[in-house]
Amino acid sequence: MSQQPLTIALSKGRILDDTLPLFEEAGIVPAEDIKKSRKLIFDTNHDHIKLVVIRATDVPTYVQYGAADIGVAGKDVLMEADSTGLYEPLDLNIATCRLMTAALKGAPEPTGRIKVASKFVGVTKRYFAEQGKQADIIKLYGGMELAPIMGLADLIVDIVDTGNTLRANGLEERDLIAPISSRLVVGKAAMKMKHRQIQPIIDKLAQAVDRRR
């Protein structure tokens, strides 16, 4: 019986470096070196499986709308995206970091209405609403550490790995919003239509993740 075509969307950057070995352990290998190519779509050692390499923030959209059947994206991206059309069957336990609030070192806890800079606007709004704090969210696309230094914001919400960048800019971690790692996501429609093909991939990836623990 011929296999239906499957498209897997992978996130560019650091996540990709951690994802490819995991997929290799699960028996899915790109036909050429992704990191040396400028292409975005890649054949694999399976005739029916293709990989697309896109911006991490676009992965949930491609999977939700059925352009890709399966995807790999960070939990931070999934928390920010509308994930109603997605299943999240597996924590791949790669590209681990933390979503934190941070402020200038030694700065007093801000009171009253606070200003918070982040690229994670949705997550930040929800977090401060749950804390019962009134917050004006300022969307920035990078260089978050500058916002408190320049007086643009009281706090920032950002991804923290080692914390070195914060410290180098005179900031300190405050509250943990969520631990972050990369997750496997599957479109709900794809799971229904191609369950027989997708489930073995999930199972093999789960075994690969377990072997690494």
Residues 101-110 have pLDDT tens digits of 999 999 999 8
The separation between the first and the last C-alpha atoms of the chain, rounded to the nearest angstrom, is 36
Residue 2 clears pLDDT 80, i.e. is over it: no
Integer angstrom CA distances of residue 183 from 32, 52, 71, 168? 24, 16, 8, 30
Residue 3 clears pLDDT 90, i.e. is over it: no
- Residue 150 — φ and ψ, nearest 5°? -90, 5
Residue 1 clears pLDDT 70, i.e. is over it: no
Residue 82 clears pLDDT 90, i.e. is over it: no
Distance of alpha carbon 44 from alpha carbon 207, whole angstroms: 20
pLDDT average, residue stretch 86-105: 97
Domains of the chain, first to last: 6-95+181-212 (3.40.190.10), 98-178 (3.40.190.10)
98 confidence band (pLDDT: 50, 70, 90): very high
- Which are the contacts of 54, defined by CB distance < 8 A and separation ≥ 6? 9, 10, 11, 12, 40, 62
The DSSP secondary-structure symbol of 185 reads E
137 confidence band (pLDDT: 50, 70, 90): very high
The dihedral built from the CA positions of residue 166, 171, 174 and 175, taken in this order, carries a sign that is negative
CA gyration radius for the chain? 19
Indicate the range of 8-12, 52-56, 78-82, 206-210 predicted with least confidence. Answer: 78-82
Q: What's the pLDDT at 196? A: 95
- Residue 85 — φ and ψ, nearest 5°? -95, 15
Whether the CB-CB separation of 178 and 75 falls below 8 Å is answered with yes
Q: Residue 70's closest CA among 168, 187, 188, 207?
A: 187
Q: Kindly report the average pLDDT of the chain as a whole number.
A: 96
- Which are the contacts of 79, defined by CB distance < 8 A and separation ≥ 6? 99, 120, 122, 123, 178
Q: Which residues pair with 115 in a beta bridge?
A: 136
pLDDT average, residue stretch 150-177: 97
Structure tokens at 163: 């914390």
Residues 23-42 have pLDDT tens digits of 999 999 999 999 899 999 99
Torsion angle of the four alpha carbons 163, 169, 173, 178, in this order, in degrees rounded to the nearest 10: -60
